[in-house]
């Protein structure tokens, strides 16, 4: 029997593979497996940093509390609603932008730059820009609104208009990314397909539905899934625009987790909420991976 | 059914003129091939007929209708693309039916026409497949099927065989020829392959630098080329050219020590060029070193054998005549050896003379 030292000196292909992969495994374990494992572990404790009485094992109690917690369901509903509005919204706007950027402009770079700009901005910065847009006294929106004969409105202080303002800001910010993926997809479609369709008798509109959309479908699905996963994690824009207000009207799940953990220092319950969000994201990621593998096998 | 007429067609991309006033008359039911090297404008010309490129000047008529301003779909043409341009997300059936569906053809009619075209092209067992599940040859058939079902006035083929391997190319060439015989429709076919042009065409338009160098039957293109470019482009191996001058009242061609007395018809056509540089053209099969061409009037010149290339059915022999080399096509059992001096006989009635500066054929 060879000792492990001998095997290390003269490794088989399999052993060599394990040796070469182990640094990557170790790094992944440190930055992915450990934090997630610790999150699950913490969720079974009553761990309030404000009380000073240390942590106490309470089993599934946090999960029972979460299910009974109205604020959790409100935040989840807000998150799902933001996802349902902004993902299709960003798809439509992104597709329009991608089609625009795909036109044969003489100079491509100004168009591409304009397309990329919202994507390149930090999320919090985008939130602040839009908070100013909707500002009651100094905002651009109220300025236009008043010029058109309306009364100045406190957009970010009414639940419905604050929610709408946040959705607009998110769509503005995220449609760049959509457009980028869709533009790459558009450029993969051979020009000769459009020429063939033109000779076959298809109008521009028919070409869009019969060639562009089906050929773009793989890119659309990828963009939608990516965007959905990030939409579920929405935090920065509502945080900078409304801080979740008025009341809890625009509070998302990520904000509720942040508030519970950082503001209230309730690490145990905060971890439980985070596990809930993690599971939601994993379900979508699994759906995404399944779609990819199905496409590869097709 | 309709012919196609091209009158003074000009095409400019920005400041660059790529087609310089081309005139062509394509008769109803005729198979016309545009042939020429890359960049000669043949594909651009075809795309202008299709309506995929605008025209800068001139008129295009399909049937009796001027179509310059009509979009492709209103021209009643069908086109087969070099990369087939099949819709990857549609089945073979739906690819072929697409044009009919857009024209709101009744479903029963669509079924009948697609199946008939599929049967003609022997792809009826592939109708449910997607293009990516097909071989190159099958895709080519589907692309042709898609154009057949529409029953257009005119078919346009843009280098349809260039993505296929040599054997399949020969096979599909025959298929296309059969298809033309069966449908009897006008076909305009673009290729850079002179073999395709010679075998398929009723008439060939040889293009170079955005101009038609000659528009004639394959036989005439081969035997009576209007320019050195046409002569050099057709035939494999290409025509041989000897550079020299006209002497003795254009009755003699001199190339250094080599002298060839020209036949009357040629010398009378070239009389105005006495003393000027010309090129004498002769095809490889019109030069003999063994006992061939005994029954023809020939000019005999001394030559040395440079290299032999046996091809099985024939042997190509490179000869040095004076300072220049020519290729001669001979019987496979030729006994010549490299380095050997032989007598090369040039068929006098097959000699061609070209102006050395502009390449135009000198003929009576």
pLDDT per residue over B227-285, tens digit each?
Answer: 999 998 888 888 999 998 888 777 888 888 888 888 888 888 878 888 888 899 999 99
Cβ–Cβ under 8 Å, residues B45 and B207: yes
The per-residue pLDDT for A15 is 84
B105-130 tens-digit pLDDT: 999 999 999 998 898 888 889 898 99
- pLDDT (average), residues A138-143: 83
Contact residues, chain A, for B103 at CB < 8 Å: 201
The per-residue pLDDT for A142 is 81
C-beta atoms of B83 and A206 within 8 A: no
Task: State how far residue B208 is from chain A, nearest Cα, in angstroms.
Answer: 25
- 8-state DSSP, B227: B
Of B51, B73, B85, the CB nearest to A193: B85
* A147 band by pLDDT with thresholds 50, 70 and 90: confident
* B354 band by pLDDT with thresholds 50, 70 and 90: very high
Cβ–Cβ under 8 Å, residues A269 and A153: no
| Cα separation, B195 vs B221, whole angstroms | 12
Structural domain contains residue A39: no
What the block records as the tokens of A153 is 């409105």
A244-282 tens-digit pLDDT: 778 888 899 899 999 998 888 888 899 999 998 998 888
Cβ–Cβ under 8 Å, residues B200 and B33: yes
Q: Is A149 helix (H, G, I), strand (E, B) or coil?
A: coil
The per-residue pLDDT for A282 is 87
Radius of gyration, alpha carbons of chain A: 25
Contact residues, chain A, for B50 at CB < 8 Å: 195, 199
Structural domain contains residue A12: no
Q: Are strands B77-80 and B31-35 parallel, antiparallel or unpaired?
A: unpaired
Of A201, A215, A217, the CB nearest to B73: A201
User: ipTM higher than 0.85?
Assistant: no
C-beta atoms of A192 and B85 within 8 A: yes
Q: Is B7 helix (H, G, I), strand (E, B) or coil?
A: strand
Residues of A in CB contact (< 8 Å) with B are 190, 192-193, 195-203, 206, 210-211, 214-215, 217
The per-residue pLDDT for A60 is 86
Residue A296 has pLDDT above 90, yes or no: no
B286-318 tens-digit pLDDT: 998 877 777 788 888 889 999 999 998 899 999
- pLDDT (average), residues A109-130: 86
Residue A119 has pLDDT above 90, yes or no: no
Q: In a 10 Å sphere around its CB, with 0-12 CB exposed, 13-18 middle and 19+ buried, how is residue A147 labelled?
A: exposed
What residues are paired with B244 via a beta bridge?
B278
Q: Is B364 helix (H, G, I), strand (E, B) or coil?
A: coil
Residue A235 has pLDDT above 70, yes or no: yes
Cβ–Cβ under 8 Å, residues B49 and B78: no
Contact residues, chain A, for B89 at CB < 8 Å: 214-215, 217
Residue B1 has pLDDT above 60, yes or no: no
Residue A102 domain boundaries: 82-251
Measuring CA to CA, which residue among B232, B68, B212, B75 is closest to residue B156?
Answer: B75
The per-residue pLDDT for A207 is 92
Q: To the nearest whole number, what is the mean pLDDT of chain A? A: 87
Residue A1 has pLDDT above 70, yes or no: no
- The residue with tokens 């109803």 is B28
Architecture of domain B4-233: 3-Layer(aba) Sandwich (3.40)
What is the largest distance, in Å, between two alpha-carbon atoms of chain A? Answer: 90
| Cα separation, B233 vs B197, whole angstroms | 11
**Structural domain boundaries of chain B?**
4-233, 240-362
Question: Among all residues of chain B, which has the CA nearest to that of A192?
Answer: B85
| Cα separation, A217 vs A224, whole angstroms | 10
Residue A26 has pLDDT above 90, yes or no: yes
Question: Among all residues of chain B, which has the CA nearest to that of A201?
Answer: B73
Question: Among all residues of chain B, which has the CA nearest to that of A213?
Answer: B89
The per-residue pLDDT for B94 is 92
Contact residues, chain A, for B52 at CB < 8 Å: 195, 198-199
Residue A223 has pLDDT above 70, yes or no: yes
| Cα separation, B230 vs B101, whole angstroms | 44
A152-209 tens-digit pLDDT: 778 778 888 888 989 999 999 999 989 989 999 999 999 999 999 999 888 889 999 9
Of A198, A201, A211, the CB nearest to B87: A211
Of A199, A211, A214, the CB nearest to B79: A199
More confident residue, A91 or A61: A91
Cβ–Cβ under 8 Å, residues B43 and B50: no
Structural domain contains residue A177: yes
Q: Is B218 helix (H, G, I), strand (E, B) or coil?
A: helix
| Cα separation, A43 vs B332, whole angstroms | 91
| Cα separation, B113 vs A214, whole angstroms | 25
Contact residues, chain B, for A202 at CB < 8 Å: 73, 98, 102
The per-residue pLDDT for A8 is 72
C-beta atoms of A200 and B99 within 8 A: yes
C-beta atoms of A198 and B71 within 8 A: yes
Report percent pLDDT > 90 for chain A.
29
B126: left (phi over 0), alpha (psi -120 to 50) or beta: alpha
Give me the sign of the Cα torsion angle B248, B250, B251, B257: positive
Q: What is the CATH number of the domain that holds A100?
A: 1.10.3720.10
Q: Is A193 helix (H, G, I), strand (E, B) or coil?
A: helix
Residues of B in CB contact (< 8 Å) with A are 50-52, 71-73, 77-79, 81-83, 85-89, 98-99, 102-103, 146, 150
- For chain A, what is the domain count? 1
The per-residue pLDDT for B359 is 87
Q: To the nearest whole number, what is the mean pLDDT of chain B? A: 89
Of A199, A211, A217, the CB nearest to B50: A199
What the block records as the tokens of A149 is 């004969």
The per-residue pLDDT for B364 is 66
- pLDDT (average), residues A96-100: 90
A106 Cα distance to chain centroid: 34
* Helix orientation angle between B92-102 and A191-200, rounded to the nearest 10 degrees: 50
* A82 band by pLDDT with thresholds 50, 70 and 90: very high
DSSP state string for A53-101: S--EE-TTHHHHHHHH-HHHHHHHHHHHHHHHHHHHHHHHHHHHHHHHH
Contact residues, chain A, for B87 at CB < 8 Å: 193, 196-197, 210-211, 214
The per-residue pLDDT for A144 is 86
Of A196, A203, A214, the CB nearest to B81: A196
**Single pTM value for the model:** 0.79
Element (H, E) at B335: none
Question: Among all residues of chain A, which has the CA nearest to that of B86?
Answer: A193
| Number of cross-chain residue pairs from A and B with Cβ atoms under 8 Å apart | 58
Contact residues, chain B, for A217 at CB < 8 Å: 89
Architecture of domain B240-362: Beta Barrel (2.40)
| Cα separation, B84 vs B142, whole angstroms | 8
| Cα separation, A111 vs A278, whole angstroms | 37
* B51 band by pLDDT with thresholds 50, 70 and 90: very high
- pLDDT (average), residues B123-151: 89
Burial call B214-238: b when 16+ CB within 10 Å, e when fewer:
bbbebeebbeebbbbbbbbbbbeee
- pLDDT (average), residues B155-171: 87
What the block records as the tokens of B103 is 């024209």
Residue A81 has pLDDT above 80, yes or no: yes
Question: Among all residues of chain A, which has the CA nearest to that of B132?
Answer: A298
The per-residue pLDDT for A6 is 78
- pLDDT (average), residues B138-152: 89
The per-residue pLDDT for A23 is 94
What the block records as the tokens of B134 is 């097909």
The per-residue pLDDT for A294 is 78
């Amino acid at each position: 029997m060879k000792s492990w030292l001998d095997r290390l000196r003269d490794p088989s292909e399999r052993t060599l593979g394990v040796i070469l992969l182990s640094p990557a495994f170790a790094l992944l374990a440190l930055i992915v497996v450990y934090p997630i494992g610790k999150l699950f572990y913490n969720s079974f404790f009553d761990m309030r940093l404000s009380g000073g009485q240390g942590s106490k094992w309470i089993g599934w109690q946090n999960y029972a509390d979460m299910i009974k917690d109205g604020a959790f369901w409100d935040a989840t509903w807000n998150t799902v609603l933001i996802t349902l509005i902004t993902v299709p919204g960003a798809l439509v706007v992104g597709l329009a932008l991608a089609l625009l950027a795909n036109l044969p402009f003489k100079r491509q770079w100004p168009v591409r730059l304009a397309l990329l700009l919202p994507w390149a901005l930090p999320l919090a910065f985008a939130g602040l820009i839009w908070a100013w847009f909707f500002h009651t006294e100094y905002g651009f929106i109220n300025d236009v609104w008043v010029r058109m004969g309306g009364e100045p409105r406190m957009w970010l202080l009414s639940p419905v208009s604050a929610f709408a303002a946040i959705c607009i800001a998110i769509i503005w910010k995220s449609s760049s990314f959509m457009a980028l993926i869709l533009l790459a997809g558009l450029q993969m479609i051979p020009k000769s397909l459009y020429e063939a369709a033109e000779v076959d008798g298809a109008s521009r509109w028919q070409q869009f539905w019969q060639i562009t959309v089906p050929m773009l479908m793989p890119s659309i699905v990828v963009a939608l899934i990516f965007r959905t996963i990030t939409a579920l994690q929405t935090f920065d824009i509502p945080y900078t625009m409304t801080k979740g207000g008025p009341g809890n009207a625009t509070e998302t799940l990520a904000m509720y987790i942040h508030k519970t953990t950082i503001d209230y220092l309730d690490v145990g319950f905060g971890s439980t909420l985070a596990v809930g969000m993690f599971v939601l994201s994993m379900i979508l990621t699994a759906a995404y991976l399944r779609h990819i593998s199905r496409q590869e096998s097709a | 059914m309709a012919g196609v007429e091209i009158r003074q067609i000009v095409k400019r991309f920005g400041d660059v003129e790529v087609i310089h006033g081309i005139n062509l008359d394509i008769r109803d039911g005729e198979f016309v091939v545009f042939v020429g090297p890359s960049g000669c404008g043949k594909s651009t010309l075809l795309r202008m007929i299709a309506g995929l490129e605008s025209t800068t000047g001139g008129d295009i008529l399909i049937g009796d209708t001027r179509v310059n301003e009509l979009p492709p779909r209103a021209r009643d043409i069908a086109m087969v693309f070099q990369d087939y341009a099949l819709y990857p997300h549609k089945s073979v059936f739906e690819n072929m039916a697409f044009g009919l569906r857009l024209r709101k053809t009744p479903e029963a009619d669509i079924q009948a026409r697609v199946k008939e075209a599929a049967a003609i092209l022997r792809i009826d067992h592939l109708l449910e497949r997607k293009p990516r599940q097909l071989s190159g040859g099958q895709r080519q058939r589907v692309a042709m099927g898609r154009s057949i079902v529409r029953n257009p006035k005119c078919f346009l083929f843009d280098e349809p065989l260039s993505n296929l391997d040599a054997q399949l190319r020969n096979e599909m060439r025959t298929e296309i020829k059969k298809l033309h015989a069966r449908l009897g429709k006008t076909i305009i076919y673009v290729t850079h392959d002179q073999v395709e042009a010679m075998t398929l065409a009723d008439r060939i338009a040889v293009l170079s630098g955005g101009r038609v160098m000659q528009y004639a039957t394959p036989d005439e293109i081969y035997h009576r080329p209007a320019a050195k470019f046409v002569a050099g482009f057709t035939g494999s191996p290409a025509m041989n050219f000897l550079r020299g001058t006209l002497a003795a009242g254009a009755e003699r061609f001199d190339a250094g020590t080599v002298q060839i007395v020209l036949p009357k018809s040629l010398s009378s056509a070239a009389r105005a060029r006495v003393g000027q540089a010309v090129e004498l053209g002769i095809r490889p099969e019109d030069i003999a070193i063994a006992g061939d061409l005994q029954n023809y009037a020939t000019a005999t010149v001394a030559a040395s054998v440079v290299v032999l290339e046996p091809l099985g059915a024939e042997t190509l022999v490179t000869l040095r005549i004076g300072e220049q080399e020519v290729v001669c096509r001979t019987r496979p059992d030729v006994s010549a050896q490299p380095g050997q001096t032989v007598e090369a006989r040039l068929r006098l009635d097959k000699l061609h003379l070209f102006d050395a500066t502009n390449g135009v054929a000198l003929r009576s």
